[in-house]
Amino acid sequence: MAERDANEFTTDFGISGRGQVKGTEPSVHYQEPKLFVATTHMRDRATKVEVSKSRITLPVSRSDVGLPAVVTAEPKSRVIGVTALAGSFSFSRNSAGQTLAQTTTAADDLGGRGGTSDKMTVTGTFELPEGLDMSKPQEMQFALGNVVETIVLSPKGMGKSTRATFKVQTKSKTKSTMTSAGQMAKYSITLNAPGLSAAGFESEGVTDKPMGNALVVHGAMLLGGVTYGVEIPTSYGVKAKGTGATGALKILKPKKKK
């Protein structure tokens, strides 16, 4: 209660042209299918200095906003399967002790340019919605660590953005280009850009001064108007490097029972 009294809270729900919502229980009504990132700022009530910031990715499907489906049926499972994950993050500091990845990103919504690139790779599988024509370009979105990318998949299942690549491999039992019920796809995602921590991963705990080494990285996807999600348990460690540090993120696999 004392924290709430001493601070004020505002939330940006990621809607262009809309201001921030004040209060500790903000709400919003989205009107389009999209992966939105909501950012909540906690500021000192007296000085207006930011005390902390948190983010969450909010997947919104076509059905969520009352739009007709563009696929025959949604998949039985909308959980993204993850078989491998690896991430590397570079943190450097200026003479004032500020993390350059953070100060650069604050001036550049794309996560900073001109610095050492961070990199995230994830591979796995997911169930396709039924009735999606994969012979045509398909616009889709994916999010990792609150970093959202919009990509157009080619009929060959490949797509790129300024800082990401996405590949999908599918196999059909028929010659139809339309996906069938229960059809699975393999995917690979690569994010490669400076300042991925300050662009979103810091809200997952990926910083140069982590609170712990067991982190959960959140992922989401929007394809064919259908949303998917996943919580990925990971291990994270930071090592000093010169005047800065490097962080390494790996998937945390369950221990095998003896």
Domain shared by 18 and 98, yes or no: no
Q: Kind and range of the H or E element at 102?
A: helix 100-106
Domain shared by 30 and 80, yes or no: no
With bands split at pLDDT 50, 70 and 90, how would you rate the model's confidence at 179?
very high
Domain shared by 55 and 165, yes or no: no
Q: Closest Cα partner for 149 from 230, 215, 62, 220?
A: 220
List all residues 6 or more positions away from 55 whose beta carbon is below 8 Å from its beta carbon: 37, 38, 39, 40, 146, 200, 203
With bands split at pLDDT 50, 70 and 90, how would you rate the model's confidence at 1?
low
Distance CA 146, CA 220 (A): 9
What was the pLDDT predicted at 177? 86
The SS3 assignment for 198 reads helix
Domain shared by 167 and 217, yes or no: yes
Distance CA 117, CA 101 (A): 10
Distance CA 63, CA 60 (A): 8
Residue 257 lies in a domain: no
Residue percentage of the chain with pLDDT more than 90: 76
Domain shared by 57 and 92, yes or no: no
What was the pLDDT predicted at 252? 85
With bands split at pLDDT 50, 70 and 90, how would you rate the model's confidence at 196?
very high
- The pLDDT tens digits of the residues spanning 106-134 come to 333 333 344 578 999 999 999 999 999 99
Residue 10 lies in a domain: yes
The domain of 35 spans 1-66
The number of domains in the chain is 2
Residue 188 lies in a domain: yes
The SS3 assignment for 203 reads helix
- Given 44, 66, 88, which residue is the final one in a domain? 66
- Given 23, 38, 66, which residue is the final one in a domain? 66
Distance CA 258, CA 171 (A): 36
- Given 66, 83, 114, which residue is the final one in a domain? 66
Residue 159 lies in a domain: yes
Residue 179: phi and psi, rounded to 5, are -70, 150
What was the pLDDT predicted at 104? 40
Are 22 and 9 spatial neighbours (Cβ–Cβ below 8 Å)?
yes
Distance CA 53, CA 138 (A): 34
Residue 256 lies in a domain: no
What was the pLDDT predicted at 103? 39
What was the pLDDT predicted at 94? 55
Residue 242 lies in a domain: yes
Distance CA 57, CA 200 (A): 10
- The pLDDT tens digits of the residues spanning 52-104 come to 999 999 999 999 999 999 999 999 999 999 999 999 999 986 544 555 544 34
Which two structure tokens, joined as six digits, stand for 178?
Answer: 């339309």
CATH code of 2's domain = 2.60.40
Residue 99 lies in a domain: yes
What was the pLDDT predicted at 172? 77
Residue 201 lies in a domain: yes
- Asked if residue 200 has pLDDT above 50, the reply is yes
List all residues 6 or more positions away from 82 whose beta carbon is below 8 Å from its beta carbon: 122, 123, 124, 219, 230, 232, 251
Which two structure tokens, joined as six digits, stand for 13?
Answer: 């729900």
